[in-house]
Every structure is written in structure tokens, then in C-alpha cells.
Structure 1
């Protein structure tokens, strides 16, 4: 029998065993009696490895991610702010390009439209071709899926009949005015459009604050002064510009009343549909009014220009850029507030007037220039006043809700 005194020769490997105080064993009994423990058999105690508890992988990843987020939170926030600033810069750049195209396309349209009318004074046919060019443009975009085609229904067509009719009246009247007077004079008279807007809207029940009524006074005074001092004054040109104002104002008013339930159709598609329907309205009337003079007028135009392609290019550019500048205006309106659009439209008239005066070298008297400036400044005041009116109405609606 082999006696082993555990108190004297304890296997070193035994020190790595786990101690469980709740379990009673002979070792505990011997230790309590202060007696050596004897065993009759050889005792071989294996070395028990130390138990190591490891964290699960996802827990460690979660801790690391939290520590990284806590350490770099400021950097993440600053990067988001930087991305927002970059996005704002890109949006402002895009809006600036749209405005630049809007102005440029409008200038090109007015120049080549006037050149074509100078040698071919038949505005009904030219206005019809401009609507035709816009209709073809939109049909190409829809056919090749370059722009989403609107869902056209019978109620939408019925609601579109009125706005398209008034758009036709406004467009042909402006073309008649362009054919008889200087482009600058037509645009000065067309700056009086807010006057007709306030008057017609008031008849239909809308109310305007005193600031709006006061803003139209300089428009009336400026247009009157410009008309009296205009070198190329023509009663037909003046009446054409005035009728154009009436037509476009009624188009806007009627569109708000009849097309409110078709908000899923964006501005560009709406203008495309109006162009197609306006062409259907205008062309038969154009044939009736001046169709018998087109052939003779065409030969005179070719003889005066010298090269047929020169005349063709003028007509083509007037049609294409007429649609493009309207398309750009609708794109700009989708991105900015109505007030910014009104101010931009006012500045556009200034740019167009100055550009056409420089191109066609129209004589401008000092009083005529002063009247034009007063009228355009009045449209700016009108934009400011109507914007405040809309803010007040929006605040009242919020209180009611």
C-alpha cells in the first residue's frame, strides 16, 4: 500500500482545479481534522485546463462599433453637413443653368421670330408653326420614353379645353403685336399683365390688400408713358399686346379652377398637352384668316432674304426656341417659389428688351426708356405684394387646421 500525504506532496497540477465550496469531499474532511489523508491506490490526478469564457463575435463587434461611433461622432456629423452643402451647391448650379437657358432661349426666340415676321408678315401661320414644333417635340419625348407620358383621360381633356383656348388667344395676339411694333414695345405692354390679373380676379371674388392695388399704379403709368413716346407705335400692335395679356391671365385663372384635381400631371406635360390642343384650335382659323396670302408671301420672303435656307432657319429656330423657353420656365417654376419666379420673369423682360434693342437697333427716346423702367419696376412691386398676400393666406389656413 502506498501512502500519499497530500498535505506534503500535492500534485502541482491539482492547483489548477476549480474550487467548489458547496461540494463535500474526503479532502475537505481531512483538512478539517488536520490529519493526513491516505489512499490505498495510486492517485493520478490529471491536469484540468482553466476554463476560459469568450465573448460571442457579434457582442465584440457591437462594442467596437459603439466605441468608434462615440469617438468619431463629430466627424460623421461634419461629413453629413458637408454632403448637404455639396447638394445645395449642386442644386443652385442646376437652377442657375435652368435660368440661364430660360433667358437665352427667350432671347433667341424673340430675335428670330421678329426676323421671320419682318420678311413674312403672317403671324397666324408662324404662330401655328411654333405650336406645331412644340407638339412634335413633346410627342418625340413621349414616344421614345425620354419623358414620362401623362395619363390622359376624358375629364382631363374636358378640363383642358378652356386653358388651351385662352393660351391660343394669348399666343396669336402676341405674335400679331410682334409683327406690327418693336419687340421691346410689346414686352413693355405685356409687363402690364398683373393689372389684368388683379382686375379679373377681383371680379371673380378674390380680394387683394392695398399694397397690391398700389403696385399696379406704376405699371399703368409706365406703360402709358412708353406707349405715348414709342417711335414704332401702332394701334394694332398695342391692342395685340393687350389682348395677349387678357388671354394669358384668363388661362392662368381658368387653369387654377379647372385643373386642380389633376395635380399628378407636372408642368411640362401640362404645357405639352396645351400646345397640342392649341394647335388644333389655331391652325384652321389661320387658314381662314390669311391662308390665301401664304404662297405669295412666301415668294416675297425668299426674294428679300436671297437664300431659302436662311428663311427656313429663322422660322425653325423661332418654333423650336418658343417651346424650349416655355419648357425651361416650367422647369424653373417646379424648383423655386412663385415669388422668385415672378422676379426672374421680370428680369427676363429687361434682358429681352435690352437684347432686342441692341440687335435691331430700335431708336429709344429717354421718356420711352423711363416709362419702360417704371412699368417693369411696378411688376417687381406687384410680385412682392402678392407674395405677402399668399403668406398671410397660408398662415390663416394653418390656424384653421
Structure 2
């Protein structure tokens, strides 16, 4: 499984990519790329929620591990096809060097925690509240950027973080189906999302600044790191002894589809970075969160209180405003 949602910023465009984005691309192509991103990104969230609440399979760690296995298989297939088909050549041949793996391992630990806590959060909270529960990634990004990279943050960005925190607090207080476990996992996921963004930048040099090579190592190591957690958490033993879902073909088809959509997020983000601008990425992320919240209320019939709605609105507005501020700052540089 690659990047599970766009917050992890697995594909961060450099100056060369930004120059490419300045070129005009056909409107139809841009619409297709953005639509693909919307469909894939929303599918990841909704399908994972269906698995862990609608299929009587609340084993978030195993779900995450299986999706990683599916993603690795797809990486191997795609990389092999790239040797003879130009359309698949964006992913280089699979490689795994032990020396490089040791350098990538700290990032993979953060990656595993981000994915596991993300799915655990989704298990305990409604999808309408999911974006709020994980909204503090922006706040943690600013904190870790200062503590680890010793970089200060502009006042407008701090204002945006304040708005996000207000949305988180109000939305949590107003949440009808409030869950302390969901809040805990959501905040933890936000922290590791922020750390992941920072560690990606520190680790890319080890793989020649190639995000696909990084994905090779990250996915492979994540499978190895996560399996002991699945084992020692008791999930595997409980699945084998009491879960009826594992005997259903439809269940495994659904699980595999979620793994495919999780891998597809990487492709969607790559295409967005290549064919759109940083501003478009920012707008798409905020718009997707809004659509996700509305669709969740319609599909899952989640009740939304007035305070919860206000919190969701503030969190989304603060996130969007932060993205706009960061975009303007990059433009100024």
C-alpha cells in the first residue's frame, strides 16, 4: 500500500516539476487527472470504513498489512511491465539494497504508524468526523518543522493552524458518536503524517531523489515491520479462530480492491503533480474533504449536530487557508 491519503505528501514536486506545471495542458486532461484523484481518494476512505464496520472485520492492523502486500504485488507487476511498455515506465525496476534499506527504515517506522493509526481512527469515528479527527496534521507539521528542522512558520500559517485547532475542539465536543479511541488514533495519525512529510525530504537522497524507489523500500519494509504487530496484537489469532469473513470470496475481493485503490493514490498524486499546479493540488485536497464529508452523511446516514458541523467547517476552512498560505509563500520564493 502506498500513500493512504494525500496528507502524507509522498510526492513533493521540486523546482523542475513546478516548471513543468507552468506549461499549459489540455483542460480535458486536467479534468481527467483531478477526477481520477477524487474517485481514488474517496474510494480509499469509504472502502476501508465499509470493511471495518460493515463486514464485521474490525482488524485494522491486518487490513493495513494486507493492503501493503497488494500494493507490493502491484509495484512488482508495474515495474516489470515498465521494462517493455513505455506507459508503465514511470516506476523503475524493483530494487532492494540492504544498505539503503537501513537508511529508509526510520521513515518506514513512521509510515507504518501513520497507516495503522489512520485505519484505527477510521474504525472508531464516523466518516463525517474523520477529517476533523485527523485535521491536526497541519499543527504537528509546524511543531515538528520547528523542533526538527529549526524552521519558523509565518504568522498567517499560525492563524490557519489556530482555526484548524478550533475546528478540531468544537467538532470533537459536538460529535454525536464521540469516541476517545477515535480521537486518540486521529491525533496520533496526524502526528505521524506530519513526521512522514518531514522524513520523506530527509530520506529521498538515499534513493537518488526517486519517489518510486522510496516506495519500493517503504512498502517492502512496512510489510516486514507491520506483521509482528498483527501477530502480537492478537489480531491474527482472533481472525483465524472467530472471523467468518475470511471464508467469503466477496470479502477478499473487497480487501484486494482497497489495496488497489491505496496503490492508485500514488499514481493519482503523481499525475496531479505532473499535470496540474500546486494551487490545484491545494484546492483539490480541500474540495475532496468537503465532498467526502457530504457523501459520508448521505451514504452512512451519520447524524451531524450544529456544533459538529461548525467544527467540520472550521477545520476544512483552516486547512484550505493553510494550503493557500503555503502556496503563496512558495510563489514568493
Q: Which TM bucket (shorter chain)?
A: 0.7 to 0.9
Question: Structure 1: where are the runs of 5+ without partners?
Answer: 1-86, 395-401
Question: Structure 2: where are the runs of 5+ without partners?
Answer: 1-22, 83-87
Q: How many angstroms apart in 2 are the aligned matches of 1:157 and 1:339?
A: 34
Larger Rg: 1
Change (3 A) 1:310 1:154: closer
RMSD: 2.1
Q: How does 1:244-255 map to 2 (within 5 A)?
A: 244-255=189-200
Q: 1:272, CA displacement in angstroms? A: 4.0
Q: Does 1:175 align with 2:119?
A: yes
CA contact (8 A) 1:113 1:314 kept: no
Change (3 A) 1:152 1:316: closer
Which residue number in structure 2 is paired with residue 201 of structure 1? Answer: 145
Change (3 A) 1:132 1:199: same
Change (3 A) 1:334 1:156: farther
Which residue number in structure 1 is paired with residue 226 of structure 2? Answer: 282
CA contact (8 A) 1:163 1:252 kept: no
Q: How many angstroms apart in 1 are the aligned matches of 2:331 and 2:114?
A: 29
Cα displacement string for residues 205-238 of structure 1 (whole angstroms, at most 9, x for unaligned residues) = 1011111111111100011111111122111111
CA contact (8 A) 1:225 1:367 kept: yes
Corresponding residue pairs, total:
300
Cα displacement string for residues 58-101 of structure 1 (whole angstroms, at most 9, x for unaligned residues) = xxxxxxxxxxxxxxxxxxxxxxxxxxxxx9353x3223212211
Q: How many angstroms apart in 1 are the aligned matches of 2:195 and 2:131?
A: 18
Q: How many angstroms apart in 1 are the aligned matches of 2:100 and 2:31?
A: 33
- Mean Cα displacement is larger for which, 256-265 or 203-212? 256-265
- Mean Cα displacement is larger for which, 118-127 or 277-286? 277-286
SS of match in other structure, 1:165: helix
Cα displacement string for residues 308-353 of structure 1 (whole angstroms, at most 9, x for unaligned residues) = 2332232222221122123312331233343432332122211222
Q: Does 1:363 align with 2:303?
A: yes
Q: How does 1:147-296 map to 2 (within 5 A)?
A: 147=89, 148-149=92-93, 153-204=97-148, 205-260=150-205, 262-265=207-210, 267-289=211-233, 290-296=235-241
Change (3 A) 1:344 1:199: same
Q: How many angstroms apart in 2 are the aligned matches of 1:261 and 1:308?
A: 42
Q: How many angstroms apart in 2 are the aligned matches of 1:178 and 1:297?
A: 22
Change (3 A) 1:162 1:363: same
CA contact (8 A) 1:223 1:375 kept: yes
Q: Tell me the TM-score normalized by structure 1.
A: 0.70
CA contact (8 A) 1:110 1:356 kept: no
Q: How many angstroms apart in 2 are the aligned matches of 1:96 and 1:240?
A: 34
Q: Tell me the TM-score normalized by structure 2.
A: 0.83
Q: Does 1:324 align with 2:261?
A: no
Which residue number in structure 2 is paired with residue 353 of structure 1? Answer: 293
Match of 2:41 among 106, 117, 124: 106
Q: How many angstroms apart in 1 are the aligned matches of 2:293 and 2:242?
A: 28
CA contact (8 A) 1:332 1:341 kept: yes
Which residue number in structure 2 is paired with residue 338 of structure 1? Answer: 278
Q: How does 1:133-148 map to 2 (within 5 A)?
A: 133-145=70-82, 146-147=88-89, 148=92
SS of match in other structure, 2:190: helix
Q: 1:150, CA displacement in angstroms? A: 5.9
Q: Looking at both structures, which has the greater relative contact order when contacts are Cα pairs under 8 Å and sequence separation is at least 6?
A: 2
SS of match in other structure, 1:363: coil
SS of match in other structure, 1:259: helix
Q: How many angstroms apart in 2 are the aligned matches of 1:95 and 1:159?
A: 36
Which residue number in structure 2 is paired with residue 44 of structure 1? Answer: none
Q: How many angstroms apart in 2 are the aligned matches of 1:208 and 1:89?
A: 33
Q: How many angstroms apart in 2 are the aligned matches of 1:385 and 1:212?
A: 6
CA contact (8 A) 1:120 1:297 kept: no
Q: 1:261, CA displacement in angstroms? A: 5.7
Q: How many angstroms apart in 1 are the aligned matches of 2:209 and 2:275?
A: 16
- Mean Cα displacement is larger for which, 329-338 or 191-200? 329-338
Which residue number in structure 2 is paired with residue 96 of structure 1? Answer: 31
CA contact (8 A) 1:268 1:327 kept: no
